[in-house]
A and B are shown apart, each in its own frame.
Chain A
Amino acid sequence: EITKDQQALVKIIVEAYNRHQIPQDVTKKLLQDQYSAEENFLLLTEMATNQVQVLVEFTKNIPGFLSLDREDQIALLKGSAVEAMFLRSAQVFNRKMPSGHTEVLEDRIRKSGISEEFITPMFNFYKSIGELHMVREEQALLTTITILTPDRPYVKDQQAVERLQETMLDVLRKMCVLQHPQDPQYFARLLGRLTELRTLSHYHAEMLTSWRMN
């Protein structure tokens, strides 16, 4: 059973998740199907900045986050930025979109100059997230759990972060049991995606270097 406090917690997190999105004037540009390689590179770079700003605005609303040590807050955001961006991108990519939009987006990514060896694991990850058919509450909580990973570099008070993460994991676990009673492995599968995210994040640094050189 989810307690009243836990329900209130989920409500705050989901509202923040819905409120903080990439600005529409930026996403509209993504859907233009006429663009040069340079325009594409500039837009995807602009989006990366927006993604980080959106991540920070969302994270400030996570109950307890702003009570953490200030430098730990920065360490958590720095450490989780790439994973959180991939997770959010995967969720957006799998959302129902008007006809043709998914194809334009996929085409844009494939023609961005990013090497195929990185594109493949990225799209594989997007597909594996899509297969989960997560509801909004699960997406928001999984993102929160990613951000509140205690073993990021330079985090000093790991126990404080761990306590906060445990609170979120407990709520998510209960939600999975209640929402997916016929699939007792659902929670474990969600957490399995976090391991995939870590792998993808390790590819990311190499992906950037090769892309910049291209």
Chain B
Amino acid sequence: PASNLGLEDIIRKALMGNLEE
């Protein structure tokens, strides 16, 4: 579960990146 959460965090941050720009 911990590594899955890490993966989801990376994905969410990277997806959000575009919105912030």
Residues of A within 8 A of B (CB): 49, 52-53, 56-57, 60, 66, 70, 73-74, 77-78, 81, 208
- List residues of chain A with CB within 8 A of the CB of B10: 49, 52-53, 56
Residues of B within 8 A of A (CB): 3-4, 7-8, 10-12, 14-15, 18
- List residues of chain A with CB within 8 A of the CB of B18: 60, 66
Q: Are A74 and B15 in contact (CB under 8 A)?
A: yes
Q: Are A81 and B7 in contact (CB under 8 A)?
A: yes
**Cα of A81 to Cα of B7 in the assembled complex, Å:** 9
Q: Are A77 and B11 in contact (CB under 8 A)?
A: yes
**B14 touches which of A53, A66, A70 (Cβ 8 Å):** A53
**Smallest CB–CB gap between B1 and chain A, Å?**
12
**B11 touches which of A52, A66, A208 (Cβ 8 Å):** A52
Q: Are B7 and A60 in contact (CB under 8 A)?
A: no
For this complex, 29 residue pairs linking A to B, each with C-beta atoms less than 8 Å apart, are: A49-B10, A52-B7, A52-B10, A52-B11, A52-B14, A53-B10, A53-B14, A56-B10, A56-B11, A56-B14, A56-B15, A57-B14, A60-B15, A60-B18, A66-B18, A70-B15, A73-B15, A74-B8, A74-B11, A74-B12, A74-B15, A77-B11, A77-B15, A78-B4, A78-B7, A78-B8, A81-B7, A81-B11, A208-B3
